[in-house]
Structure 1
């Protein structure tokens, strides 16, 4: 979906929503644009499917954020897998953490998988808990940590 902004809106009149989400009613597009210019914000058309098209006043920084959210909502979330070992060195841990952060910021989910041999189950669980805690700012886990036979895993969603 392409978002129309400011002068690109061609409709004669628009249904306007204010900066704080308050309904300002139907008004001529020129008047809505003048109001946006006066408040130093953007006039953004949210849908082209109705007449008059609904538009809202959005602050300059918010318009970019809104565009990114619309783009993120368009594409389906992918689950990227990151494999680890229970006895990972600090540098490698930090690299995997940065990699996961990048994936989460891009809007995809991360599945951490640790292969377990023998009595490594506890170490694997502790490592996954540490990762979840360290990445709490970027994403939250979809479910608990799953320990099953030969592997431990946890999924983080953005």
Structure 2
């Protein structure tokens, strides 16, 4: 993101603070306008001539850059471990934790450790979690029962 004096083009196509088109003007005039309005002149693309620029509030430009970086990052996969004999309070805590992770944009993998004949209870537990978290995420994989664990992955909506 190039802003203010770092823009080297002679002319820029300026968009105002509220999205209005101000046309093609010299970079010096655009910078003077930005200083007068106490905002930043931010170049949005260097691929066209003249480059398109926007007048953006000082804090908003930084925030916009952070959001763009966040969108570019791949979602992380967080694992939450459970047992089939989980108590109600612990279940709610794990569910809330998963909801927070999904709303932050990361994926969640639930893993239920199985010993003996707890496979049916583990599958039931995971189905309940998927149903309750349907507003925050959707399942990427089906419930996978393998040996000593049952697992399912939820991706954010």
**TM-score of the superposition, structure 2-length normalised?**
0.69
Q: Residues 43 and 54 of structure 2 are in contact (CA less than 8 Å); yes or no, is this contact kept in structure 1? A: yes
1:97-132, Cα deviation, whole Å (9 max, x unpaired): 447736863x533333335623313333324444x2
User: What secondary structure, in the 3-state scheme, does the structure 2 residue paired with 1:62 have?
Assistant: helix
User: What secondary structure, in the 3-state scheme, does the structure 2 residue paired with 1:24 have?
Assistant: strand
User: What secondary structure, in the 3-state scheme, does the structure 1 residue paired with 2:119 have?
Assistant: coil
Q: Residues 125 and 145 of structure 1 are in contact (CA less than 8 Å); yes or no, is this contact kept in structure 2? A: no
CA RMSD of aligned residues (A): 3.3
Which one of the candidate residues 64, 81, 84 is aligned to 1:83?
81
Query: Number of matched residues?
Result: 149
Match of 1:70 in 2: 68
User: What secondary structure, in the 3-state scheme, does the structure 2 residue paired with 1:31 have?
Assistant: helix
- My pick for the range that moved more, 116-125 or 33-42, is 116-125
Match of 2:137 in 1: 141
Larger radius of gyration: 2
Which one of the candidate residues 23, 28, 31 is aligned to 2:29?
31
Change (3 A) 1:60 1:122: same
Q: Residues 86 and 124 of structure 1 are in contact (CA less than 8 Å); yes or no, is this contact kept in structure 2? A: no
How many angstroms does 1:61 deviate by?
Answer: 3.2
Long gaps (5+) in structure 1: none
**TM-score of the superposition, structure 1-length normalised?**
0.69
Q: Residues 102 and 156 of structure 2 are in contact (CA less than 8 Å); yes or no, is this contact kept in structure 1? A: no
User: What secondary structure, in the 3-state scheme, does the structure 1 residue paired with 2:9 have?
Assistant: coil
